[in-house]
């Protein structure tokens, strides 16, 4: 049985503040790996729970966001493996993007390109999907390398290949 360290009130408050400051990471990862609103909410909650459980082992000498991305992506990948019904929700996610674009008067052509990019990302293997998410978030090659646990040259190569596939397929 895993032992959970008892956290002080200060540690709980620090965790809460850090989670709130970086909540966008949780939401972006959940949106990238879960496609229906319920699935996204469930995944975001599971990510937050796992972050809470792991927080006592967080090493403050590393960036919190890097640590957070690593845990969030691992939880998301596990979620995808365990969600046989994930594919049923792919169309609903695409429709939701279209509805949001229409409501906010987004250029239809730009909306179509965004949907095509989302479809492309959705069909990628899990590691490449995580790589695209981090790349589109403007993380450096070094940060992506640290988060995903792969070499910087591997990150550069994979990004280059993904860019070429996007040019060819979209």
Asked whether the beta carbons of 46 and 83 are under 8 A apart, the reply is no
Q: Which fold has domain 1-83?
A: Rna Polymerase Sigma Factor; Chain: A (1.10.1740)
- Secondary structure, 3-state, 26-79: HHHHHHHHCCCHHHHHHHHHHHHHHHHHHHHHCCCCCCHHHHHHHHHHHHHHHH
For 38-72, write each residue's pLDDT tens digit: 989 999 999 999 999 999 999 999 899 999 999 99
**Which residue positions in the chain have pLDDT lower than 70?**
1-6, 83-108
Collapsing DSSP to helix, strand or coil, 155 comes out as helix
- Name which of 113, 130, 112, 108 is nearest 121 in CA terms: 130
pLDDT given at position 97? 46
Q: Please enumerate, as own/partner, the contacts of 48-55 that have beta carbons within 8 Å and a separation of 24 or more.
A: 48/19, 50/74, 50/75, 51/15, 51/19, 51/26, 52/15, 53/4, 55/7, 55/11, 55/15
pLDDT given at position 103? 52
For 138-150, write each residue's pLDDT tens digit: 899 999 999 999 9
pLDDT given at position 2? 47
Prediction pTM value = 0.65
């Amino acid at each position: 049985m895993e032992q959970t360290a008892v956290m002080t009130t200060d540690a709980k408050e620090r965790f809460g503040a850090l989670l709130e400051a970086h909540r966008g990471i949780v939401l972006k990862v959940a949106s990238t790996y879960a496609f229906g609103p319920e699935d996204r909410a469930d995944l975001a909650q599971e990510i937050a729970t796992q972050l809470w459980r792991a927080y006592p082992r967080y090493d403050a000498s590393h960036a919190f966001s890097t640590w957070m991305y690593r845990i969030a992506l691992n939880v998301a990948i596990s979620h995808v493996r365990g969600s046989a019904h994930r594919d049923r929700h792919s169309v609903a996610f695409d429709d939701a993007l279209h509805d949001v674009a229409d409501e906010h008067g987004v250029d239809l052509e730009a909306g179509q390109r965004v949907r095509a990019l989302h479809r492309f990302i959705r069909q990628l293997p899990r590691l490449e999907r995580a790589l695209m998410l981090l790349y589109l978030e403007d993380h450096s090659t070094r940060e992506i390398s640290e988060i995903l646990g792969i070499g910087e040259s591997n990150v550069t190569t994979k990004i280059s290949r993904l860019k070429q596939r996007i040019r060819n397929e979209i």
